[in-house]
Structure formats: structure tokens, C-alpha cells
Structure 1
Amino acid sequence: MSEWSVTEPRKLSFDDPVTALQVRIVNGTVNVVGTDEGSARLEVSEIDGPPLLVTQKDGTLTVAYEDLPWRGFLKWLDRKGWRRSAVVSLTVPVGTNVEVGVVGASAVVSGTEGRTEVKGVTGDTTLVRLSGPVRADTVSGNVEAQAVTGDLRFNSVSGDLTVVEGSGPSVRADSVSGSMIVDLNPGGRPTEVHLVNVSGEIAIRLPHPADARVEANTASGTVSSAFEDLRVRGQWGAKQITGQLGAGNGKLKATTVSGSIALLRRPPAEDEPWDAEPEDAPQAPTDKKVL
């Protein structure tokens, strides 16, 4: 095993193979990039507080605080321990399995093909062009997934989920009050989308032509649909959107207690990315069904 204690800005290169990466920091930033190069590199450009312990053993590269374990990470609420920060950038082989844990820090993971798991207490996470399975668990941090082609799992208390150009086999998300905005990539494979929320809003934009079996339910929220082929039921209280679009190869299921649900249609041709996030409950165009 090789080990380094990083107390000041420093760069390290690792000649031994790296197949797994584990990063755990408090405050600051983590940036992980996949590369076709066979070796891994680390740059700690800023550090304040206790040292970061860097270890390499049996193909696993770890960059973490010694007192911040992965097990029970989301319950680490030692406020005195939050008085630290680091800015960490890593380049790893594209097939590396990545685990990132952040408390009050932002994280970006891009261009990898292995399994990715992110845990965050606070701080936003951005996931870009990941082709392996992805799991993100947060307390209040937001997650944005761009052009992710692997299975995506998301769990949060109050963090928001935004999926842009999603084309993976499945998107599954659970939240209490965070909003969920899912934009599915046109021309992608049939996708299974399963979203569960309590009070947060849900907006799903389907490609043209759409191809999915749809079931959306809310106990007391509003619903809106941009698709005339779907049935919208319920005038007071519980409301439901059901039906089939196209051949029905994909599956879309959304459930909320008091949050709103909007099913939006992507235009047949579009050059600009979808970046309009609703400030309030998502609304469909005024000439569409709204209850």
C-alpha cells in the first residue's frame, strides 16, 4: 500500500493501475474526469484544515479525511468537523468505479464508464456523460445528470433532480420535497421512468415521437398533459393521467401526494437544449389539458 498525507496544494501521479476511486471531502469541490490514459492523476489545489489522506491499495485510490468514513456518511453531522475545505481534481481511467462523498461541497463526475455512486449531505452534484450505472443519495443537495446513458437511481429528502438528454435504460427517483425534472433524449432507447415524490413537483418532457405506457397519479396536486392520446381523470382530489403513446415500449410512472405533475412534449426538431426550470408548479401550454 502507498500512502500520502496532503497538507498543502500538491500534485500526485499514480503509475499502478486504478480500478476504483473513493473520495470524501467537506466543503470545497471534487472534480473527477474519465480518460483513456492508463494512469491516474490527483491535484489538490486548495486545502484548509486537517490533512487529506491519500492511499492506493489493490487498485483502489482513496482521497479522504481519516475521520470521515463511507459507512454512515449521510449521518455525519459533526459540525465541528465541517471547519475544513479542499479543492480536489482527479483524472482516472475511463472504466474506473467512482464513489464520491461530499459534505457542503460540490461534485462533478464526467466521462466514466464504470459504476458511479455519489452521497451528499449538502452541495450540488453534476454528472455528465456517464455510461455505467449511477446512484445518487442526498439530504438537501441538488443533482443534475446530463447525457447519462446508464441506469440512474436518485434518493433525496429535499434535493432537486434535473435530467437533461436522458437516454439510459431506466430513471428511478424518490424524494420528499425536492422537484424532479426529467428530459428524455429523442431517438434514444425505450426508457423506464419511475418517480415518487411527496410534495415536490414533477415535470417530464418526452421526445417526439413518444413511445411509452403512462401512469401518473397525485392525491391532491394538479396535473397537466401535452398529449391528447392520454386520459386525464379526476376533478377534485385525486387525479390521474393514463394511456399509451406510440407502441408503448417505454414505461413512465409518476406518483405524488400533493405535488404537481406535468407531461411535456418535445418539439419534432430542436436545436437548443431544454433549460427552462419552472419556478412554481410546472404548467403545460394553455391549449392543453390541465386539471
Structure 2
Amino acid sequence: MPARTEWSISAPRTLEIEEPVSTLNVRLVGGTVNVVGTSDGSTPRLEISEIQGPPLTVEYLDGTLSLAYQDLPWKGLLAFRERKRWHRSAVVSVTVPATTRVEVGVVGAHAVISGISGRTDLRGVSGDSTLVGLTGEVRADTVSGRVEAQAVTGDLRFHSVSGDLTVIDGAGGAVHADSVSGDMVLDLDHTARGADVRLTTVSGEVAIRLPDPADARVDANTTSGAVANAFDDLRVSGQWGAKRITGALGAGTGTLKVTTVSGGLTLLRRPAFEDARAAAAGGGARPDSGPRGAAPTDSPAEKKVL
């Protein structure tokens, strides 16, 4: 294959990329993109199983594989507005080496990225995204799309206007997130003790479930939202209006800092038996957290509401 190869895809097609791939760039309007990282040395593979509307351009150049609509730029994608007269969608699956740097931009499309150890950048105007088993650094920026991260061990940075963030079996990496109105739900497992978690939102609800025993210095506050705290070692100050949860859990080596203006704030305790069960199984166990986006729950006796 020459250094540069380009295809115009207007019908379902499968491509085997014989040259090494170090960077993947996908920009899609409508449909689904599924990116899977592999470590078995298999050939990178691109499958477009459905496509409607204008053709997609696939390009390979010096280790970078790109799949995109030519009129959808990577820079400025978050300012992009989907035009209803654009009737287009595609269902795309891409298999690349786990070490690949991945850039995915979607407008009204669902994105699933799994098994990547390289850096992952996700940009979404709308449409939900799922991140599974990523061990490299992750940056997710959305306008209104929801992001669910499961068993992500790399540092996660999230920025959104109204999109929700759900972290399941958070495992050790830093989590820095900010939004205007999006809700944030974090369930951190035993490997996240000592992690750096910093969350900021204006009107979104924040619910965090910490491992037991936990290891973090806590400073969480809300200006007008309700507060629920399941830890006796933490102090809740303020009875009317602004409320603050402060104190140290365990050795206090980690950081948990939360700021919300009008959203509620909930700190829950993850039962020790869940972590023991996960360790026995050799991996993270997803807790029964109820409907998607809902906060994990403890027994009423373990939760203090102020």
C-alpha cells in the first residue's frame, strides 16, 4: 500500500489495512461507531455495514487512518450544528492496535470505544458515548451527549454543557469533570483509593460512591442543593442554604473536591463485599445501580440526608 491511499465509501464495505496504524480519526453524523483495540497483532480492519446519504471518505496516510465526512471538521466540531436536511448516517466498526491514539467526533451518533491503551479524545455534539476498559488518558468534550465510562483506569477529563457523566467501577485514574447542567454519577472501586477526583457543575446533581475503607481528603459543597452523607468521619456544616462536607477518610492521601451551585450532593459507601467479590472474580464487578444514569443506592440506615 502506498504512503497515501484514499477511498470514497457509498455502500457497505470492509477494508483490511495492511500498513501499521498509530492514529485513528473518525468524524461521523448519525449512526454508530464502534472502536475496538486489540493486542493480538491482527490486521487493522474497517467495516461499514450501513450507510445512508453522502459517501464517507477513508484515508490512510503515514500511520493515520481517517474516516470522515469531508464537511465535518475536527477543529470546531463542538460548535457544529446538525442540519435537519442532512439525511445521513453510517454504522462503522474499526479494529486497531490497542496502543493506537484514537480521536472520535460525533454529531447525533452513538460511539463505543473499548480496549484502547493509547490516548483517547472524544468530541460529541449530541448522542451517547460509552468508554470501556481504556487504560490511556481520556478527554471527552460534549455539548449534550451523555458519557458512560466503565473500568477506565487512565486519567479521565470531561467537559460538557448539559451532558451527563457516569463512571462505573472507576479504578485509580484521576477524574476531572465540569459541566453546566449535566449530572455526574461516580462509582469508585477499591483500586481508586487515593485517586484525584475534582468535579464542578452549576445545576447538575452529583452522586459519588466511595470504596470502604476510603482514602481521601474530602471538600464538597453546594450552595442550595440537598446533601446526603454516609460517612461518620466527615463533617457536614451549614443547615440553611450553603452546605459543605469536609474531612479525611483513611490516610487522606487522595483528593475528592466537588462544587455545585444548585445541584444536590450525595456521598455513598460502597459495600466491602462488592470489592471482595470483584477481587475474587479477577476484575471489576458492576454494581446494581438501577436505571442508567441513576445514583447507586445504599440502605436508608447508611445515608444521612440534610
Q: Which interval holds the TM-score relative to the shorter structure?
A: over 0.9
Question: Match for 1:192 among 192, 196, 202?
Answer: 196
1:107-256 superposed matches below 5 A = 107-256=111-260
2:98 aligned with 1:85:
no
Partner SS, residue 181 of structure 1: strand
Partner Cα distance (2:124, 2:37) in 1: 21
Calculate the aligned-residue CA RMSD, in Å: 1.7
Partner SS, residue 229 of structure 1: coil
Q: 1:158·1:178 contact (CA, 8 Å) conserved in 2?
A: yes
Partner SS, residue 77 of structure 1: coil
Aligned residue for 1:52?
56
Partner SS, residue 187 of structure 1: helix
- Give the aligned length: 291
2:299 aligned with 1:276:
no
1:188–1:29 Cα change, 3 Å: same
1:18-97 superposed matches below 5 A = 18-36=21-39, 37-80=41-84, 82-97=86-101
1:129–1:281 Cα change, 3 Å: closer
1:284–1:256 Cα change, 3 Å: farther
1:192–1:240 Cα change, 3 Å: same
Shift of 1:289: 2.7
Partner SS, residue 233 of structure 2: coil
Shift of 1:38: 4.9
Instruction: Output one character per residue of 1:4-43: Cα deviation in whole Å (capped at 9) or x when no partner.
Output: 0000000000011100000001000000000122531000
Partner Cα distance (1:263, 1:132) in 2: 27
Partner SS, residue 269 of structure 1: helix
Partner Cα distance (2:248, 2:242) in 1: 20
2:272 aligned with 1:262:
no
Shift of 1:169: 2.5
1:51–1:280 Cα change, 3 Å: closer
Unaligned runs of 5+ in 2: 278-284
User: Residue type matched to 1:198 in 2?
Assistant: V
User: Residue type matched to 2:111 in 1?
Assistant: A
- Percent of aligned positions with the same letter in both sequences? 63
Partner SS, residue 255 of structure 2: strand
Aligned residue for 2:16?
13
1:60–1:278 Cα change, 3 Å: closer
1:280–1:30 Cα change, 3 Å: closer
Q: 1:223·1:260 contact (CA, 8 Å) conserved in 2?
A: yes
Unaligned runs of 5+ in 1: none
Q: 1:218·1:261 contact (CA, 8 Å) conserved in 2?
A: yes
Shift of 1:51: 0.4
TM-score after normalising by structure 1? 0.96
Instruction: Output one character per residue of 1:99-130: Cα deviation in whole Å (capped at 9) or x when no partner.
Output: 00010000000001000011111100000000
Partner SS, residue 116 of structure 2: coil
Greater Cα offset, 169-178 or 268-277: 268-277
Shift of 1:286: 3.7
4+ long deviations beyond 4 Å: 277-285
